[in-house]
């Protein structure tokens, strides 16, 4: 049986590629979550007016990879201390967020976030938000596995 997890960590292309490298991940798709517009387009999300975040929805096998491992991978693949930005990308669509699909995911995400915040690994407090999952709007086909189709890789 597979489970879902959804993360926003900046531009979704590299995040998707990195999650695909995590053992136990069955699939990953890029899309949008957290906004107020139904079936948003990439162009709409880029305006920073829809409330959506660029996200990766991960399908994983909990027998091979538990949720805490995914959350730890998420914290390793971006700067969770940034508010509404990652690298050169700015706007709320690039915010650091974990969308939890059930109370257990919320609990684990909060535990790992607190552990990471207390670890001293980051120079500033972690700004990652934890929110209930909403409708996942799959991004346009040309965004799916974007880096892999171009021969690029993003290892953790």
User: How many other CB atoms are found less than 10 A from the CB of residue 80?
Assistant: 24
Tokens 């053992």 belong to 23
Tokens 């906004």 belong to 35
Q: What span, in angstroms and rounded, lies between the C-alpha atoms of 37 and 50?
A: 6
Q: Is residue 95 exposed (0-12), middle (13-18) or buried (19+ Cβ within 10 Å)?
A: buried
Q: Which one of 11, 46, 65, 154 is the catalytic residue?
A: 11
User: How many other CB atoms are found less than 10 A from the CB of residue 154?
Assistant: 16
11 a catalytic residue:
yes
Q: What span, in angstroms and rounded, lies between the C-alpha atoms of 23 and 61?
A: 9
Contact 64, 7 (CB under 8 A): no
Give the active site residues: 11
């Amino acid at each position: 049986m597979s489970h879902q997890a959804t993360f926003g960590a900046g531009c979704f292309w590299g995040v998707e590629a990195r999650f695909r490298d995590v053992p136990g991940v069955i699939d990953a798709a890029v899309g949008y979550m957290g906004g107020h517009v139904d079936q948003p387009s990439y162009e709409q999300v880029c305006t920073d007016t829809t409330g959506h975040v660029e996200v990766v929805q991960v399908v994983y096998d909990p027998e091979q990879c538990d949720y805490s491992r995914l959350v730890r991978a998420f914290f390793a693949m971006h700067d969770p201390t940034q508010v509404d930005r990652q690298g050169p990308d700015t706007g709320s669509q690039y915010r650091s967020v974990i969308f939890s699909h059930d109370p257990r995911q919320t609990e684990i995400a909060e535990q790992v976030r607190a552990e990471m915040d207390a670890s001293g690994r980051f120079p500033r407090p972690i700004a990652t938000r934890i929110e209930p999952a909403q409708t996942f709007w799959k991004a346009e086909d040309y965004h799916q596995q974007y880096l892999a189709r171009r021969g690029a890789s993003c290892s953790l």
